[in-house]
Amino acid sequence: MHFEAAVAQEQLGARGCAASEARSRRAAFLGLKEALMAKAIWEGAVLAESQDSVVIEGNHYFPPESLNRSFFRPSNHTSVCSWKGTAGYYDVVVNGKTNRDAAWYYSDPEPAASVIKGRVAFWTCGILDVWHSGKV
């Protein structure tokens, strides 16, 4: 079974944060996890692979142990979401190419987003693929 957050994309801000009236609807989905295999791929490299991703706002948050850490470099960039908290970022580096701030995580999220603590998500705007094995 594939899960997508019920919040419409047009309700989301530049960093994927929803308008306050949509926040409570989205928070109801925070405990749901993806049961199928999800992979994050860029430049042919598998960055993360797991059957234990959490999907929020259409983004798969992968458990830290599922990452291929050799492709990640810490970034100084941060952003703030009113309901998730402050996100830290990683650059993704594959075969000498750098995708700046392509992955993010919440090391100390707000209580409403505690299910994604330490998990890593990726930009999926045609640059990083997240796909599922099996039926979507």
Indicate whether 2 belongs to any domain.
no
User: What digits encode the pLDDT tens for the residues 24-61?
Assistant: 334 334 445 545 788 899 999 999 999 899 999 889 99
How does strand 45-50 pair with strand 38-42? antiparallel
Is 9 a residue whose pLDDT tops 90?
no
| pLDDT above 90: percentage of residues in the chain | 56
The CATH number covering residue 78 comes to 2.170.150.40
> Whole domain around residue 16: which residue ranges?
9-132
Average pLDDT of span 112-135: 79
Indicate whether 46 belongs to any domain.
yes
- pLDDT, position 78: 98
Indicate whether 64 belongs to any domain.
yes
Question: Which position has the higher pLDDT, 35 or 83?
Answer: 83
Per-residue burial over 91-124, b if 16 or more Cβ lie within 10 Å, else e, is: bbbbeeeebebbbbbbeebeeebeebeebbbbbe
pTM: 0.72
Is 97 a residue whose pLDDT tops 70?
yes
Give the number of domains in the chain: 1
Indicate whether 4 belongs to any domain.
no
Indicate whether 15 belongs to any domain.
yes
Question: Which position has the higher pLDDT, 32 or 6?
Answer: 32
- pLDDT, position 22: 39
- pLDDT, position 65: 97
Mean pLDDT score of the chain: 77
